[in-house]
C-alpha cells in the first residue's frame, strides 16, 4: 500500500556522465552528469547536492539544470582527486512542511583535466573569456531555438563591478540587418556562465552576427569591449 510518506520520499537511483554514458555511476572530472531518482525536488528550502569522499569531507556540486523531479544535471564545482565518493541529495521531496530527507548513491570519480578551450573572444588582459554561445536547452544540438534563452560559457562573466575587476555591463548584437539589445537573465556564482535573452524573435535561418561584450570596472572609470563573431543557426521551436 502506498502511503503519504511514499509520495514525498526522496530517492537517488543512479548517475550517468553525459559525455561518457557507460559505465553507470562514473564521473569524469568536471563533466556534466545526469542524476536520476524520485522526488528530487531541488527548489525546496534547504535542498542541496554534494559529494563526500572516504574521509567524509564534503565537496560542492553545481546543479546545471533541473529537468524534472526525477532528473537533474550537474557538475562538481572543483576538479577533485580520483577515487570513491558518495553523491548526496537533500530535499523535502516537494513537501514544504516536511523535514529534509537525504539519499545517496556511490560513485567513482576520475580526475580528468580537460585542456582549456580556445576562447571565441576575450578581454585584453584575458581575465574575461567567452568560450561558447549556445541554446539554454542542452538538447539543442548546437543550434539556437527561436524564442529560447541562450547560455554563454566562459570565465570572469560577472555582472557586479568589483574593485579592479571587469564586469559585463552590456551586450549587443549586430549583423544581417540585426541591431538587437541583449538582456542578462542570470549569472552563475563562479562567473563561468551567463543566461541571456534577446529582444528580437528570430525566424529560422542562419545569421552572421557580432556579439559585443561591454566591460566596466572601478565604477565606470575603466571600460573596454570585445566582440565574438558567430553564425547563429536558428531553428523553429
Mean pLDDT of 2-17: 76
Cβ pair 217, 167 in contact under 8 A: yes
Q: What is the pTM of this model?
A: 0.53
Q: H/E element holding 4?
A: helix 4-7
Residue 6, helix vs strand vs coil: helix
Write out pLDDT tens, residues 57-94. Answer: 999 998 888 888 999 999 998 899 999 999 999 999 88
Higher model confidence: residue 219 or residue 12?
12
Query: Range with the lowest mean pLDDT among 36-45, 84-93, 181-190?
Result: 181-190
- For the chain, the domains span 10-110, 121-235
Q: Are strands 193-198 and 26-28 parallel, antiparallel or unpaired?
A: unpaired
The C-alpha atoms of residue 135 and residue 40 are separated, in whole angstroms, by 25
- 8 A C-beta contact, residue 61 and residue 77: yes
Judged by DSSP in three states, 8 sits in coil
Same fold, 10-110 and 121-235: no
Mean pLDDT, rounded, for 93-97 = 85
Report the pLDDT value the prediction gives residue 44, as an integer from 0 to 100: 81
* Topology at the third CATH level for domain 10-110: Coagulation Factor XIII; Chain A, domain 1 (2.70.50)
Q: 105-139, pLDDT tens digit by residue?
A: 999 999 987 767 788 999 999 999 998 888 887 77
In CATH, the number for domain 121-235 is 2.60.40.1220
Task: Specify whether the CB–CB gap between 150 and 196 falls below 8 A.
Answer: yes
% of the chain residues with pLDDT over 90 = 36
**Nearest of 166, 178, 163, 160 to residue 122 by alpha carbon:** 166
152 CB neighbour count, 10 Å cutoff: 24
Residue 199 pLDDT class (50, 70, 90 cuts) = low
Amino acid at each position: 500500500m502506498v502511503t503519504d510518506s511514499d509520495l514525498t520520499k526522496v530517492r537517488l537511483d543512479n548517475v550517468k556522465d553525459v559525455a561518457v554514458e557507460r559505465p553507470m555511476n562514473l564521473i569524469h572530472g568536471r563533466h556534466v552528469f545526469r542524476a536520476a531518482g524520485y522526488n528530487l525536488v531541488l527548489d525546496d528550502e534547504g535542498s542541496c547536492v554534494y559529494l563526500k569522499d572516504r574521509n567524509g569531507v564534503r565537496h560542492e556540486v553545481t546543479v546545471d539544470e533541473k529537468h524534472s523531479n526525477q532528473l537533474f544535471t550537474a557538475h562538481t564545482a572543483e576538479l577533485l582527486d580520483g577515487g570513491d565518493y558518495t553523491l548526496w541529495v537533500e530535499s523535502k521531496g516537494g513537501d514544504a512542511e516536511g523535514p529534509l530527507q537525504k539519499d545517496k548513491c556511490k560513485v567513482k570519480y576520475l580526475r580528468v583535466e580537460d585542456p582549456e578551450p580556445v576562447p571565441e573572444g576575450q578581454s585584453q588582459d584575458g581575465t574575461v573569456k567567452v568560450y561558447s554561445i549556445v541554446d539554454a536547452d542542452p538538447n539543442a544540438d548546437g543550434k539556437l531555438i527561436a524564442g529560447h534563452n541562450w547560455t554563454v560559457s566562459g570565465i570572469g562573466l560577472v555582472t557586479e563591478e568589483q574593485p579592479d575587476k571587469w564586469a559585463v555591463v552590456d551586450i549587443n548584437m549586430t549583423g544581417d540587418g540585426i541591431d538587437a539589445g541583449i538582456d542578462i537573465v542570470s549569472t552563475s556564482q563562479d562567473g563561468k556562465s551567463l543566461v541571456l535573452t534577446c529582444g528580437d524573435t528570430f525566424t529560422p535561418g542562419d545569421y552572421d552576427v557580432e556579439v559585443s561584450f561591454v566591460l566596466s570596472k572601478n565604477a565606470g572609470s575603466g571600460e573596454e569591449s570585445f566582440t565574438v563573431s558567430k553564425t547563429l543557426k536558428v531553428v523553429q521551436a
